[in-house]
Structure 1
Amino acid sequence: MSDALINSLAAAVEARPDDLTLRLHLAEMLVTAGRGAEAIGHAAQILAREPGDSAAQQLMARALGGPAPGGPAVGDAAGGSPAEGGTAPGAAQVVQPQGSEKPEEPPAGSESPAPPTEKPAKGVDWAALEEQFGDVVPPRFARADGEPDPVSGHADRTFDVERSTVTLADVGGMDEVKKRLEVSFLGPLRNPKLRSLFGKSLRGGLLLYGPPGCGKTFLARAVAGEMGASFISLSITDVLNMWIGSSERNLHDLFESARGHAPCVLFLDEIDALGHKRSQLQSSMRTVVNQLLTELDGVDGGNDGVFVLAATNAPWDVDPALRRPGRLDRTVLVLPPDAKARAAILEYHLRGRPVAGIDLTAVAAATEHHSGADLAHLCETAAEYAMRDSIATGEVRMINQADMLAAAREVRPSTDAWFATARNVAMFANESGAYDDLAAYLKKRRIR
């Protein structure tokens, strides 16, 4: 089978992913070419949409190395059942040329080959195959509503373990944040001998806080990519459950998955919702916060190699016990991007768009205090201006500097509302000095 033909057909499938007939043809060619592992994924996608497709079921069985469901038995293919003179399933078949004599019987007393002891395969063991290829082949039957999931010892069935492809070099600005990360975790990870000499542990946590849309989640992924570590992201919806005890179990499963994939960056988004001050919670939610504290301490399992990054827009709502030494003991303010970072963000979001004559430095100067999300919306607004004119005139034109500056006047920074709230905290609730960096920034911006 020509690889060029298979590659050409694969490109056609990629261009038309919903063409199941074309995908089935590609899978058949892959199986014929001895590339069953590649065919499994295509057959699985067909069965996910058409569970009763018999051709896809037979192809899946062939790709997995078993007989096709509903296909002829081995004895039938050999010319009948053993009782009718056919070859028994699993037995070796010897084809005699015409005119040849029957092979001599072994002499009496000599040892003959032992018959096979394995039972003939009557079909495909779908349950075993589902367990073996569970990450590729979808389950044959869905569970009914309300039926509990089986409890397993590993949480990969619930939490996605990723490998991040971005690094800190892809993060614009945030120099102070990068320095803190280098000292607290990245540096000790790269220098195991020095880490052992100074007794530095790889366990720890960092709380990122600041206005929304400033790249806290992206920074967490970059840390995982910089370390070459696994990355698990968690939100409150992944944990909370209406049944008593289920939320605590979900939280424990999450940390067990992170420990099993160490080194691992565990990212807890919106930590103020999951770890809210217990004095303001009902008893059912207090136990969830208590479970989070237990997992951060690593009482039931060591947390070495598990680096916890948490993000919040409201650090003043986080339970103080979460921020004590040994847990989320380092706090870093993630501010809106500076001028250099804003130019880089604008350039990124203008890639793939028709642009001409845009002065990124001038646009960056006109977008002070804008978050990364604001800048992305600004580029989208400028594209709408150019597209509107192109529709009205019938002539396509590029996105120009006037579009960008007009969009900058329309899209106001979303961070102003957050700093208005943060100002009260920095002025009246900073006895411990936890928000000194925020107070310094507000003073620099002259927000009083």
Structure 2
Amino acid sequence: MPINEVVTIDKEFTDFVKNRLKGLPLSIGDEISVMILGNSMEFKISNTTPKGIVKIERSSVLKILSETATDKKPRITYEEIGGLGDTVKAMREIVELPLRHPELFSRLGVEPHSGVLLYGSPGCGKTLLARVIASESDANMYLINGPEIMNKYYGETEAKLRDIFKEAKDNSPSIIFIDEIDAIAPKREEVYGDVEKRVVAQLLALMDGLTERGNVIVLGASNRPDSLDPALRRPGRFDRELEISVPNADGRLEILQIHTRGMPLAADIDLKNFASDLHGYTGADIKSLCRESAIKAIRRYLPEIDLENERIPSKILQSMEIKLRDLYDATLEVIPTAMRQFYVERAKVLWNDVGGLNDEKKYWKITWLQLSTHLINLERWVSNHLKVYYFMDHQVVERRFLLEH
């Protein structure tokens, strides 16, 4: 089975792969993906004995060849996206459908959308969604990073834009994705330089008319849609605007399941409950949170590992797992994007530091103690009355309260 990763193929590695394939029906030509230590590794079945469909058992003999398989273009699927169900559905209708089946729109005598503007908080999946749409529609994708395309020399930026649009038309169906579009197309009445005004005018001219550009759709992404030139937001340019918002509890659960599917989680971890505590976390935050929890887990196992050895014993690797406390400890390191504007460093002030106000202190002690013993009530009360200060989950609030008593 040729593989497309550089690894040391020995008996230990072969036995590990065999254990992962045990019980699976396989035949020549099958391509399978195996999660190995949190990473996906692709395998291809080159030969079987006997011929036909075989099943891997404990007594089966498995051989892994050292040849590297032919490189393939990495494919991103809709399974990589979580928490954007309605947006994905809309994007498939607006972008993927006309790229794959333009004859539908020709038959009805209408032109498909020429552009879609994606806006929302950073880290919510705007770029990922564009990449998935391009991959699933088998379209060529041309990425334009707003700040990178700007050039101080006269006419250079406009020439780059024209070249990209021409190449996209020649290789259609294509998707042109302009990230941070507000950097190259701000409101012309608010800029003082001629470069920005010329770039906006050039972009408007290139986007005006789908028939001239061929089967090409333009996607734009911005964190500040109100700063864009109004001419770009009229029909004929960016026909549709889709908000990519911060995920809710169900969306956070989907994202958690995506990023933890290759992670060895402890049996007592309930991702649904954990996702409900991650208020304000975006997809990028959750990805960083999973990485940080893995680092926390590694720290627990470091005393058992001899770092001077060339290889870590597989017994230790197989025993490693991420515990619930690793996930919650990681929330102290990763601040949710949607709450950063409200985040303040907590001063270390105890009850004894407050002089007088005995009745008030007694009232708040009783109130907080009651709330901390009823976590559901605590979450509801904080979310309704202290939204500005609520940047951690209720378990962290409870833990910090109990540390002082």
Task: State TM-score, norm by structure 2.
Answer: 0.60
Counterpart in the other structure of 1:348: 258
Structure 1 window deviating more from structure 2 (162-171 vs 204-213): it is: 162-171
Q: Answer whether contact 2:114 2:217 (CA < 8 A) is retained.
A: yes
- Pick from 330, 334, 337: which aligns with 1:411? 334
- Pick from 315, 321, 324: which aligns with 1:398? 321
Please list, as runs of the form range in 1=range in 2, the aligned pairs for 1:196-345 lying within 5 A after superposition. Answer: 196-281=106-191, 282-298=193-209, 302-345=212-255
* Cα distance between partner residues in 1 of 2:281 and 2:189: 35
* Cα distance between partner residues in 2 of 1:382 and 1:392: 18
The residue type paired with residue 137 of structure 2 is: M
* Cα distance between partner residues in 2 of 1:249 and 1:184: 28
Residues 411 and 15 from structure 1, CA distance in 2 versus in 1: closer, same or farther, beyond 3 angstroms? closer
Residues 413 and 328 from structure 1, CA distance in 2 versus in 1: closer, same or farther, beyond 3 angstroms? same
Task: State TM-score, norm by structure 1.
Answer: 0.54
The residue type paired with residue 290 of structure 2 is: C
Q: Answer whether contact 2:180 2:223 (CA < 8 A) is retained.
A: yes
More contact order relative to length (CA 8 Å, sep ≥ 6)? 2
Q: Answer whether contact 2:146 2:182 (CA < 8 A) is retained.
A: no
Q: Identity of paired residues, percent? A: 36
Please list, as runs of the form range in 1=range in 2, the aligned pairs for 1:31-430 lying within 5 A after superposition. Answer: 165-281=75-191, 282-298=193-209, 302-357=212-267, 358-392=269-303, 397-417=320-340
Residues 276 and 311 from structure 1, CA distance in 2 versus in 1: closer, same or farther, beyond 3 angstroms? same
Q: Answer whether contact 2:141 2:177 (CA < 8 A) is retained.
A: yes
* Residue-by-residue CA offset, 1:177-204 (whole Å, 9 max, x unaligned): 1232234333445554542232222451
Residues 184 and 293 from structure 1, CA distance in 2 versus in 1: closer, same or farther, beyond 3 angstroms? same
* Ranges in structure 1 where 5+ consecutive residues have no aligned partner: 17-161, 421-443
* Cα distance between partner residues in 2 of 1:191 and 1:320: 31
* Cα distance between partner residues in 2 of 1:413 and 1:367: 8
Q: Which has the higher Rg, Structure 1 or Structure 2?
A: 1
Q: Secondary structure at the match of 1:302?
A: helix
Deviation at 1:267, TM superposition (A): 0.5
Q: Answer whether contact 1:263 1:305 (CA < 8 A) is retained.
A: yes
Q: Answer whether contact 1:163 1:224 (CA < 8 A) is retained.
A: no
Q: Secondary structure at the match of 2:232?
A: helix
Counterpart in the other structure of 1:131: none
Residues 15 and 184 from structure 1, CA distance in 2 versus in 1: closer, same or farther, beyond 3 angstroms? closer
Q: Answer whether contact 1:164 1:221 (CA < 8 A) is retained.
A: no
Q: Secondary structure at the match of 1:231?
A: strand
Q: Secondary structure at the match of 1:243?
A: coil
* Residue-by-residue CA offset, 1:343-398 (whole Å, 9 max, x unaligned): 23223333444432222111111112210111011112212222222225668752
The residue type paired with residue 200 of structure 2 is: V
* Cα distance between partner residues in 1 of 2:102 and 2:237: 22
Q: Secondary structure at the match of 1:207?
A: strand
* Cα distance between partner residues in 1 of 2:82 and 2:251: 5
Structure showing the higher strand proportion among its residues = 2
* Ranges in structure 2 where 5+ consecutive residues have no aligned partner: 9-71, 306-315, 344-382, 389-405
Counterpart in the other structure of 2:32: none
What is the total number of aligned residue pairs between the two structures?
271
Residues 445 and 173 from structure 1, CA distance in 2 versus in 1: closer, same or farther, beyond 3 angstroms? farther
* Residue-by-residue CA offset, 1:397-418 (whole Å, 9 max, x unaligned): 5210121123235433112357
